[in-house]
Amino acid sequence: MPDHFRIATVRIREEIDVVTCRQSARQIASWLELPHLEQIRFATAVSELARNTYQYAGEGLFHFDISSNAQGLLERLCLEALDNGPGIADIERILDGSYVSHTGMGLGLRGARRLMDEFDLRTGAEGTRIRACKYITGARATPTPARIQSIRQQLQHSGAADPFVELQLSGSELLLTAGELQDKQRELEAINLELENTNKGVVALYSELEKANEEVREASASKSRFFANMTHEIRTPINIVENISKLLLNGHDGPLNPEQQRQVGFISEAAAELSGLVNELLDLSKAESGRSEISPSHFTLAEFTEQLRQCAGAIALRYPQLQWQVAAPASDVALQTDRHLLFQVMRNLIDNAFKYTPQGRVSVRTYLPDDETVEFLVEDTGIGIAPENQGKVFEEFLRIRNPELAKVQGTGLGLPLAQRLASLLHGSISLDSSPGRGSRFLLRLRRRHDEATASDAPLDLSGINVLVVDDSEADRYLLNKLLSPYQASVHEACNGAASIEMLYEVRPDLIFLDLDLPDIAGEDLLDNMDWGLHARVVINTAKPLDDAARQHLARHSRAIVQKSATDYGEQVLREVSRLMEEHHHGR
């Protein structure tokens, strides 16, 4: 279990105690071997809060604590400030930067908040409590009780702080910080010069890429038209072969001898296989060209699960050595989507699971992660897919080379078609697999497929300022194209420096922030924004995020959108629509 240790307590009664509090903060941070700039930030935050306590509450207590995780490693350096003053009025406006005071009230609070990694403030008529923490990076063991007692004694023996000495130290720290900032400025100037020198080449490259993309789109459209036309042309003779084969096998014109029966059986099986391929090609070409018609209907999850159970049972007849299960949903809910296309996606995933599982088990389960979403998990204990091949399984006609797959029949179209159809249903398919462990395909989609999607909803963004902070001209262009039909006022910044100027000039209602900026990390830029702006930030990134990074960003932004998502445009418009709903409700 995590542990907490009290290092020191400083009482604020006189102005000199503010200096003592800052001095203690710096000594503790130095004792814990925090980086020098982090020591300065922690001491400065403590100084601002102590001064605020003395000015507006008259007196208070400052506790300094450290905490460790379950493994006994240092995790945080924290301060807790307590006073019995009258409380802080207009605290929300002070923290979001909208409160204006001629006395400077609130600037210390906002500054301290920016300097700390965690900041929690509670205030009322009975007083104010502030708890703020700095994260301790690197694997450091928690100090022993003896070491903690040693630092306590050092702090006690320091005696009353000398404000002149403290002023000298603060000046030295300021000079050090200014020197580091100058070094960073020189680096930024060198980077900007490089960017200016390469800008013309980049613009020319984007022009070539746009031309190449247009050629690719035209080629893709031609391919889809070719598939659609050819499959229709091929389907007729295949149907004839299938039907005549059935007539012969049924003895319509007389009985066949055993050898003839066997030969016609081969013809019938080949015709059925070719017919399945043609049907998959036709479905795929429709999905790619956008000609697949979505026909939502109302049905329940329990009904659909029963349909999947019957489908899996029919497929399982070809694989008697496998165990299988289609689990009933934990609770039944209503669905409103295209049942036929959804069944087609699930049938392909289930058939794929049986096909690549020589022995073991195939299971299908459903989940309801929230009130708007349903998930279908198809899991097998088959041969699995290596990480380098997982992206390839969704490519058309591509089959992974593997000796274990030699006897597996297939066209390489099942998973690409399933992915295309899932996208049409406003869903996505994710894959988790490794060789020898099996595969897990997760289909996630909305419970309701509304006819009026975000792209054609009555959305009016007149008077709404949108700031796009992204160094990619193509990504800025895409967002501009998505939002311009709705009369939004879109402002662009290609780096962090330009965005900081616009934040105060434009005061945007919505900010799309890329994490990979050339001059500053998007996370750092977010941390330095006024807290009130965080609720307007949509993280717009192609960067893969682990759970910890995603949770941290989620606490400091309104949403996270992955540029690689198949429904990227819809996600963008959905977040904009939610913003407008908040405006309409007076938030």
pLDDT at position 454: 40
Q: Which residues of the chain have pLDDT under 50?
A: 1, 164, 168, 406, 451-457, 585-587
Which of 527, 502, 401, 466 has the alpha carbon at shortest distance from 119? 527
CB atoms within 10 A of CB 37: 12
pLDDT at 366: 94
pLDDT at residue 574, rounded to an integer: 82
DSSP assignments along 129-179, one per residue: EEEEEEE--S--BPPPHHHHHHHHHHHHHT-S--HHHHHHHHHHHHHHHHH
Strand partners, 131: 80, 120
- The CA-based angle 558-445-424, given to 5 degrees, is 105
pTM check: above 0.85:
no
Provide the pLDDT for residue 169. Answer: 53
What's the pLDDT at 324? 94
β-strand pairing of 489-493 with 510-513: unpaired
Instruction: Give the DSSP letter string of 439-492.
Output: EEEEEEEESB--SS-GGGS----TT-EEEEE-S-HHHHHHHHHHHGGGT-EEEE
- Ramachandran sector of residue 72 (left: φ over 0; alpha: ψ -120 to 50; beta: rest): left
Task: Describe the strand order of the beta sheet including 323-326 as a list of residue ranges.
Answer: 323-326, 361-367, 373-380, 438-446, 427-434
pLDDT at 451: 47
Q: Do 457 and 499 meet the contact criterion of CB atoms below 8 Å apart?
A: no
d(CA 528, CA 30): 24
pLDDT for the residue numbered 309: 92
- Is there a contact between 267 and 241 (Cβ–Cβ < 8 Å)? yes
